[in-house]
Structure 1
Amino acid sequence: MEQASNAANKKVAAKRFLLIAVIALVPILLLLLRYRSHLAWKVMEHQLELRDAFESPTRLMPLATIPTQWRKTKAAGLNLALPSDMTQIPLEDIEALLFENEELRVFIFPRLPITAGDQAYLQKATEFSPTQREFTWPSLRFEIFQKNVDDFRWSMTNKEVLWHFYCMNIRCDQPGQKVEGFFTNDLDGLLVTENNTASFDWQSNLKPYDGLLQFASKQGELNLDHVRAICHSIELDDND
């Protein structure tokens, strides 16, 4: 009789323990579900040692004044201003126009139409972004460069953490690199400088075209005032 009572008590105790364990486990599972993306990010951050990775300084491009003595030039479907002492150098190996003077080389690549694939990717980025903002290629890359490892917060929503994941996976920084964003009603651009070279990726907000300019110093440091002035002067040639 006593043995039967002890067995019954053990069963009751076991059921109570199981019930308590389930009750305790439910909030843990809910927390894991709520913070699944956050935990995945922390694991990736640790494994890839992202806290020690170089992150390019990123800012909006300072205003630039185009010198009055510069000449207007038509090149590769663009109208732009170049230093008056620049001359065009024939090129055979690459599809670009080269202009240079004693201190600077400017490569102007032909403008290209935005493809359906480009538009689809940018639309997907808009849908994926927590802000749902419309992107051009330069504005998307600028947004990515603006995001840093330290931006992560446990208070982020899962959508915000996934966007953080996306930006950290896509951005590609090189030591010594600096990034400047250029945004007007007519044109968006991204200037990336590294050592004595720079590239300016642009996309029109008026017509479905984008393109690229590359800059290289021939002697000494790259003259960023001239580089920025050239970027500020870019317009699409409506007659091309």
Structure 2
Amino acid sequence: MPFSHRLEPKKSGNHEIDFFHVPYGILGGDWLAERELPDGRQVVVVADVTGKGIPAAMVVQCVQSLWAASLAEPQFDADKWLQSLNQALCTLGRTQGTHSVSMGVMVLAGSHCTYFSAGHVPMYFARDIHDHRSIVPINARGSVLGLDPLVTFQPEIIALPVGEPYILMLGTDGILDWQTRRSGRAVQRIIRGALDEGMSAIAKHPVSDDKIMIIIRAA
């Protein structure tokens, strides 16, 4: 059975961040990362690699390498980083075969959140997790990485309530599958299950795929 883990919650500014990851196999194709910038902004990244096994693991390694290189820079330009990652994956594809990656990048800056999507599923925003009607999908536009050297991204920016509770959630399609995304109630169950039951709620979600979910709560 694949090893699943819930990383320790992280406190950053006025946010508390919970990380959940349940790989489907030994060599999973999902990946997550986060960092806090010197100016206090928080960057959260979730990636979903097409395919499984060794080819997918090679692509994840490429993503990890470029992420590690970016950590040496005091600032982070999401568009620029996605462009450089796309070029690296296209170069890799010429020798190892085409492998695409969908990716979501969330940048929190106190009063607002910017969501970049490279062909990724929506991010979700909720003012009250006990009311499914308050759960809103945040759809940004952008190209899947690794298929074409020319890619574009149109991020979505949302204002965050000041002094009020709210939740942001970002995941891969192992959690946010098409059927789940159709229903605010289903998204609500996933978030509440993770917060109440922990990893078991993620592991039992009936989708045969890697599962990653990140929940950010206003502290």
More helix by share: 1
TM range, normalised to the smaller chain? under 0.3
Q: Which has the larger radius of gyration?
A: 1
